[in-house]
Amino acid sequence: MKFKCVIFDLDGTLVDTIGDITASVNRALSDNGYSLHSEDEYYTMVGWGWRRLCTLALPEEERSAERVEAIFGASLAYYAENPVAFTKPYRGIPELLVTLKQKKIKTAVLTNKPDSLAQAVTAAAFPADTFSAVYGERPEQFPRKPDPGSTWELLLELDASPRETVFVGDSEVDVATALAADCHSIGVSWGYRDKAVLEKAGAQRVIDTPGDLLEIIQEKF
Q: What is the set of active-site residues?
A: 9
Tell me the C-alpha to C-alpha distance, in Å, between residue 180 and each of 58, 75, 94, 193, 215: 31, 31, 28, 20, 25
d(CA 165, CA 153): 13
∠ CA(74), CA(78), CA(79), 5° rounding?
A: 115
Q: How far, in Å, CA of 213 to CA of 204, rounded?
A: 12
Q: How far apart are CA 154 and CA 134, in angstroms?
A: 9
**By the 8 A CB rule, do 113 and 137 touch?**
yes
DSSP tag of 162: G
Query: Closest by alpha carbon to 154, among 193, 110, 88?
Result: 110
